Amino acid sequence: MTRLRPEKDSSVALMQAGQRAGETIWVAEPSDLSAGAGGPQVLATEITAEPWYSAKQTCWLPMSHFQHVWMRKDPPVDEAYLYATHLLELAELLGVQVLNRPAGLRAWNEKLGALQFPELMAPTLVASRLELLSSFAKEHGEVVLKPLGGRAGQGVVRASGSAPGLGALLELVTQQQQLPVMIQAFLPEVNDGDKRILLVHGEPLGAVNRKPKAGEFRSNLAVGGQPEATELTERERQICATLRPALIEAGLFFVGIDVIAGHLSEINVTSPTGIREVEQLGGIPIADLTQQLLLQG
């Protein structure tokens, strides 16, 4: 809890909205989950979320005690993360609504999930083989390489298909052709911003444009991107409408998609951010609207 920044973190915004709606807020780590003959349980701490924050009590509770459980943890989606989703599925069997749905979290890698909609994306390839990656880079000239398990722009590299060191770079990022990576055609329009759109139950509730800082092509706020107020274009609304049925079917209640120049880039499902920026710049009470939609079922 001490690592969360109330002025920035979407998780805090959601907890505070829950408290305003009259909910009791409990927090726990994935390592606090357990399951046995008595069913799934959690070692949880009741807190006051607003003002941020004070702890009240810590105790073991059956997961059936809770109506809703938010699973928000930054990547990597490692063994501990995957096991937590399986334990949370046991809570689902008891009628607990887990957000986002554990099966959806496992199935929708934040890079690979977008490949279900290739027609919405810039030219993209996921591969380990150097000849495939090198050929793609030479065809498209300027490209971006993304690790499939990355977050917040970490490890994202811009490269040229004609660069003398391209082969060595591809060997490095694929760990000698053992690890697939995503390669995409570079979109120079990213200098005008990368739009984060927040969808709740498949509906876009707000967005923020993130502009790269000087000398940088990555626009992520975590690496210095600057947030700006923005409106959705017709193309972006079409993207959201195309995604909506699949997101609902997968139980992905709260999602952040990234769009550059009308092209879908990523579908973020583990712990999408941007609530505070949309609230501050757009005047849209995203957290409270999310809570209302949650309570409406």
Q: Which of 151, 218, 236, 279 is catalytic?
A: 218
Distance CA 251, CA 202 (A): 10
The reply to whether 8 belongs to the active site is: no
Q: Which of 146, 151, 195, 276 is catalytic?
A: 146
The reply to whether 211 belongs to the active site is: no
The reply to whether 196 belongs to the active site is: yes
Q: Which of 9, 194, 266, 279 is catalytic?
A: 266
In the block, which residue shows the tokens 């990656």? 133
The reply to whether 73 belongs to the active site is: no
Q: How far is CA 150 from the centre of its chain?
A: 11
Q: Which of 101, 151, 195, 196 is catalytic?
A: 196
Distance CA 54, CA 106 (A): 32
Q: Which of 110, 194, 236, 258 is catalytic?
A: 258
Phi-psi region of 177 (alpha: psi -120 to 50; beta: other; left: phi over 0): left
Q: Which of 109, 210, 277, 279 is catalytic?
A: 210
The reply to whether 258 belongs to the active site is: yes
The reply to whether 268 belongs to the active site is: yes
DSSP calls for 18-31: HHHTTPPEEE--GG
- Cβ neighbours for 150, distance < 8 A, ≥ 6 positions apart: 75, 111, 156
Distance CA 74, CA 11 (A): 11
What secondary structure letter does DSSP report for 40?
E
The reply to whether 146 belongs to the active site is: yes
Q: What angle do CA 211, 215, 217 make, to 5 degrees?
A: 50
SS3 32: helix
159 to each of 136, 143, 156, 183, 240, how far by Cα in Å? 12, 5, 10, 10, 30
The reply to whether 74 belongs to the active site is: no
Q: Which of 111, 151, 195, 276 is catalytic?
A: 111
Find the farthest-apart pair of alpha carbons in the chain and give their distance in angstroms, rounded: 61
Q: Which of 268, 276, 277, 279 is catalytic?
A: 268
Residues with active-site annotation: 111, 146, 196, 210, 218, 258, 266, 268
